[in-house]
Amino acid sequence: MNLFSIAWKSVKQRKVASLLTAFSVALGVMLMVVVLVIAGAVDGAFNQRSIAYDLIIGAKGSDLQLVLSSVYRVQPPIANLPYMYLDQLRNDRRVETAIPLAFGDFTKPEHGGFPIVGTTNEYFLNEYTPGKMFEVADQAGTRQLSELYDAVVGSQVAHKNSWKVGDQFTIVHGSADSEDTHDEMFTIVSVLRQTGTPNDRSVFLNLEAVYILDGHQKPIDEVETRLNDFYGNDKERLNAALMQMEELKQKRAKGQEIGDQAMGYGLDTPEAMKEITAVYVKTREVFDAISLQSELKNGSKAMAVNPIRPIKRLMTNFVGHIQSALVVLTGMIIVVSGISIFVSIYNSMSDRRREIGIMRALGARRTSVFSIILAESTVLCMGGGVTGWLIGHGLSVAFAPYVSARTGLLLDGWALNPWEFVLFPVLLVLGALVGFLPAMTAYRTNVADALTS
Amino acid sequence: MSLLLENVRKSYKEPSGNRLPVLGIARYELAQGEQAALVGSSGGGKTTLLNVISGILAPDSGKVVVDGKDIAPLPEVVRDRFRAAKIGFVFQTFNLLPAFTALENVLLGMSFSGRGVDRAFAISLLERVGLEKRLDHTPQRMSVGEQQRVSVARSLANKPALLLADEPTANVDPANQDLILNLIRDTCKENNVTLLMVTHAMEVANRFDRLDKLANFNDPQAAYQGVAS
């Protein structure tokens, strides 16, 4: 019969008090584990799993806004870039892939107000995150925007609306709560499998379809002003663009306005008229990304942003602090639970004085009774900790599908956060600390007095 | 010689700061295997004497030789270990640990001796006191007499050289008094264990061949004459 089993007996003897104190520790640890699991999922979603591209190119402005709008689709875009700039990027020897994106519209409020992304099929043929390709959830899906009004929807969009391949829907212009509905009806050709990224709550349309929607064409004067502003000193490109605009003016003068053709409606819109909101770029070499980024810093109206950096900055400066605050808060709950163990054991000491006297009379040394009390507080702390850890991870696993369906966040319930490796040594120390004073009381017990008490 | 007390003095410090002499024993001895009853009035120093013999308390001066070893000058930690190994205790109030079964209470006595636990021997002791069917019973599920029998078994768990019994029959009914008393005396005899039983009940004390009155050899006032308080 070792000291640990003697301590365990004592824990069992005071069943209710032991259960309550261990449960309070379990509660604190459970909360901490859940916070760490969610923090890990958020960190994964924002840092590692967000995007497989080297650069995002958009109009000059806030780099964070560009990433939030083009990758996470939670902010309005800064401004647009001329479509012709896409060709310029594609012809750049440093660029391996350049995928255009146009956004600003949404599904109707009753359909969840999900962001609409106009793009090309290249978007689905490239990895959405390092090492992962898009997959279709419905075998009938094609993952291809073949027709003008085809649509590919993310898993969360489909789940929210119970949409499947073949279903049709309309979209609204400008903002998620807008009542300005576009007349065009889009047909779902693919439902994507869950990715744990903002793609899950996005609707992808053919880029060409986005241009021909009502209200998306801008007045020729405004386009010319924008082209002048964007190209500035690049006379060669500016002239080419303006020449296209001139041709368009002449067509209009002859009454051949865009939209007159029954088939291929608007497909002959000159490129100079078109705009895109952002471009996802994969460069050939790491250095190419740096070179392109620094080149655009000087004089260009576009900017190139590493998609990870602004988010990391955001995480470090803001989200990271909130997470740290939550971890500290749950840590404090654990400490308070530890104090409740101290109070419980300390209060029991006067009742147990005689027990300690008996053990000492039977030959137990002072250090033995000290160790028994210390083992008891450690057992309660560690027992509560292990229970809380299991419940925390169990709850994370159990609620992962629900959280995922509601937020798109992929929770890995059994993922271990590095903090968890610190948790148990800390609990061990906490158990020893809170047990120290009661253990000292046991150590100092006067055997003769205790036996006559 | 199993027990020898020589010039043992023990006093307690009073709240006033003065010392209250409690023990003053010039010489007292018990041979190996001998059984003696020690009678004394309440407050006469019986329990203090047992605590000094067992090493729970250190005397102010004098020799306390148990099984050939003077434990008086030993540090507390050594006295604890010595007590666990050489001295058995039977208390008036049994002093069983309520969370432990009968068997565990006996094993507990073994676990502090540093010699490890001998489960088979613990069970044989409980069988010897007639509790073979109560091994897994906790004290609250046993009668008073059964509890004291567990206490007797526990006191013999480490094969002690000396067994100290402090009013072991005071709290049991008359029917169990004889049983307990015979049990203690018989098991001590079988194992050649020296027995010192303190009691204030003459009907118990008279059953021993040797009956000592504490007042006859304990004279604290005389022992402390001339000793600075």
Each of the 453 residues of chain A gets a pLDDT tens digit; together they read 788 888 888 888 888 988 998 998 899 899 989 988 888 887 777 765 567 899 999 998 899 899 888 888 887 787 888 998 999 899 999 999 999 999 888 999 899 999 999 999 999 999 988 888 999 887 776 778 888 899 999 998 999 999 999 999 999 987 777 778 888 899 999 999 988 888 998 999 999 888 888 777 778 888 888 888 888 778 888 888 888 888 888 877 776 555 444 333 355 678 888 889 999 999 999 899 999 989 888 867 889 998 888 877 877 787 778 878 888 888 888 888 888 888 888 888 887 888 898 898 888 889 999 999 999 999 999 999 999 999 999 999 999 888 876 666 777 888 888 888 888 999 999 999 989 999 999 999 888 888 776
Q: Tell me the backbone φ, ψ of residue A64, rounded to 5 degrees.
A: -65, -40
Answer whether A232's CB lies under 8 Å from A225's CB. no
A406, A394: one domain: yes
The DSSP annotation for B143-175 comes to: -HHHHHHHHHHHHTTT--SEEEEESTTTTS-HH
**B91 vs A451: CB contact, 8 Å cut-off?**
yes
Assess B117–A contact: CB distance below 8 Å, yes or no: yes
Residue A266 falls in which region: left (phi positive, over 0), alpha (psi -120 to 50) or beta:
left
Whether B86 and B160 have beta carbons less than 8 Å apart is answered as yes
Write the residue in B56, B104, B113 that is nearest to A361 by C-beta: B56
B97: containing domain: 34-217
Residue B151 lies in a domain: yes
What is residue A257's predicted lDDT score, i.e. its pLDDT?
Answer: 52
Residues A94 and A41 in one domain: no
Average confidence score pLDDT of chain B: 88
A132 touches chain B (CB under 8 A): no
Instruction: Verify that A40 and A86 share a domain, yes or no.
Output: no
CA separation for the pair B106, B156 (Å, rounded): 9
Residue among A363, A351, A234 at smallest CA distance from A299: A234
Q: Which tokens belong to A52?
A: 């497989």
Check CB contact under 8 Å for A362 and B107.
no
Size of interface A-B (CB pairs under 8 A): 73
Arithmetic mean of pLDDT, B47-68: 92
Q: Residue A206 in 3-state DSSP?
A: strand
Q: Measure the CA–CA gap between A439 and A424, rounded to whole angstroms.
A: 21
Task: Say if residue A297 is exposed, middle or buried (CB neighbours under 10 Å; 0-12, 13-18, 19+).
Answer: exposed
- Residues A168 and A253 both lie in one domain: yes
Say if strands B69-70 and A302-305 run parallel, antiparallel, or are unpaired: unpaired
The reply to whether A148 and A66 lie within a common domain is yes
Distance of CA A95 to the CA centre of its chain: 28
Of B222 and A72, which is predicted with more confidence?
A72
Q: How far apart, in Å, are the Cα atoms of B212 and each of A12, A20, B39, B163, B183? A: 45, 54, 6, 16, 21
Structure tokens at A335: 């400490």
User: Both A274 and A317 in a single domain?
Assistant: no
> In b/e form, how buried is each residue of A367-406, taking b as 16+ CB within 10 angstroms?
ebbbbbbbbbbbbbbbbbbbbbbebbbeebeeebeebbee
Domain span at residue A104?
51-305
**Beta carbons of B80 and A364 less than 8 Å apart:** yes
Q: What is the pLDDT of residue A97?
A: 94
pLDDT given for residue A453 in this prediction:
66
Mark which of A255, A290, A305 sits at the end of a domain.
A305
Nearest to A362 among B76, B99, B112 (CB): B112
Distances, alpha carbon B128 to alpha carbons B88, B132, B154, B183, in Å: 16, 8, 12, 9
Do both A56 and A175 map to the same domain? yes
Distance from CA of A361 to the nearest CA of B (A): 7
Domain count for chain A, please give it: 2
Q: Which one, of A365, A329, A364, A345, lies nearest residue A439 by Cα?
A: A345
A407-410: which pairs have CB atoms within 8 A and are 24 or more residues apart? A408/A154, A408/A156, A408/A194, A408/A196, A408/A197, A408/A198, A408/A200, A408/A201, A409/A38, A409/A41, A409/A42, A409/A45, A409/A196, A410/A41, A410/A44, A410/A45, A410/A49, A410/A194, A410/A196
Residue of chain A nearest B97, judged by CA positions:
A355
Residue B195: its pLDDT value, please?
94
B151 touches chain A (CB under 8 A): no
Quote the CA–CA distance of A110 and A117 in Å, as a whole number. Answer: 18
Q: Say if residue A109 is in the same domain as residue A207.
A: yes
User: Pick from B66, B56, B128: which is nearest to A359 by CA?
Assistant: B56
Model confidence band, residue B190 (pLDDT cutoffs 50, 70, 90): confident
Amino acid code (one letter) for A307 = P
Domain boundary (A256, A276, A305) is at A305
Q: Is A451 on the interface with B (CB under 8 A)?
A: yes
Residues A262 and A162 grouped into a single domain: yes
Report how many domains make up chain B: 1
Report A:325-354 residues touching B (Cβ under 8 A).
354
Residue A95's alpha-carbon distances to A90, A125, A404, in angstroms, are 6, 17, 35
Q: Pick the closest to residue A211 from A179, A153, A278, A259 (CA basis).
A: A259
Quick check: A366 contacting B, CB < 8 Å?
A: yes
Last residue of a domain, one of A270, A305, A340: A305
CA distance B35 to chain A (A): 21
CA distances, B84 to each of A69, A161, B55, B81, B210 (Å): 77, 76, 10, 5, 26
Asked whether the beta carbons of A438 and A377 are under 8 A apart, the reply is yes
**Is A1 close to B111, i.e. CB distance below 8 A?**
yes
Rounded Cα–Cα distance for residues A68 and A77 (Å): 9
Write out the H or E segment, with its range, that includes residue A275: strand A275-276
List of residues 6+ apart from A100 with CB closer than 8 A: A83, A86, A118, A119, A120, A207, A276, A278, A279
Exposed (0-12), middle (13-18) or buried (19+): which is A138, by Cβ within 10 Å?
A: middle
Q: For residues B153 and B147, what is the distance between their CA atoms, to the nearest angstrom?
A: 10
Do A334 and A266 share a structural domain? no
B8 in Cβ contact with B29 (< 8 Å): no
Terminal-to-terminal C-alpha distance of chain A: 26
- pLDDT of A408 reads 63
Are A217 and A237 members of one domain? yes
Distance between CA A309 and CA A130 in Å, rounded? 16
Tell me if B84 and A452 make a contact (CB, 8 A cut-off).
no
Q: Which helix (H) or strand (E) holds A186?
A: strand A186-191
pLDDT tier for residue B229 given thresholds of 50, 70 and 90: very low
Q: What's the pLDDT at A211? A: 85
A414 CA: distance to closest CA in chain B (Å): 38
Q: Closest Cα of chain A to B94: distance in Å?
A: 10
Residue A448 has a pLDDT of 80
Would the ipTM clear 0.90, i.e. be above it?
Answer: no
Q: Is the separation of the CB atoms in B166 and B198 below 8 Å?
A: yes
Tell whether A109 and A213 lie within a shared domain.
Answer: yes
Residues of chain B contacting residue A357, judged by C-beta atoms under 8 Å apart: 95
pTM above 0.90, yes or no: no
If one compares B217 and A176, the residue with the highest pLDDT of the two is B217
Asked whether the beta carbons of residue B112 and residue A366 sit closer than 8 angstroms, the reply is no
Whether B94 contacts chain A with CB within 8 A:
no
When pLDDT is cut at 50, 70 and 90, the band that residue B46 belongs to is confident
CATH of the domain at B140: 3.40.50.300
Unique residue bearing structure tokens 């799993």: A49
Query: Residue B16: inside a domain, yes or no?
Result: no
Distance CA A362, CA B33 (A): 21
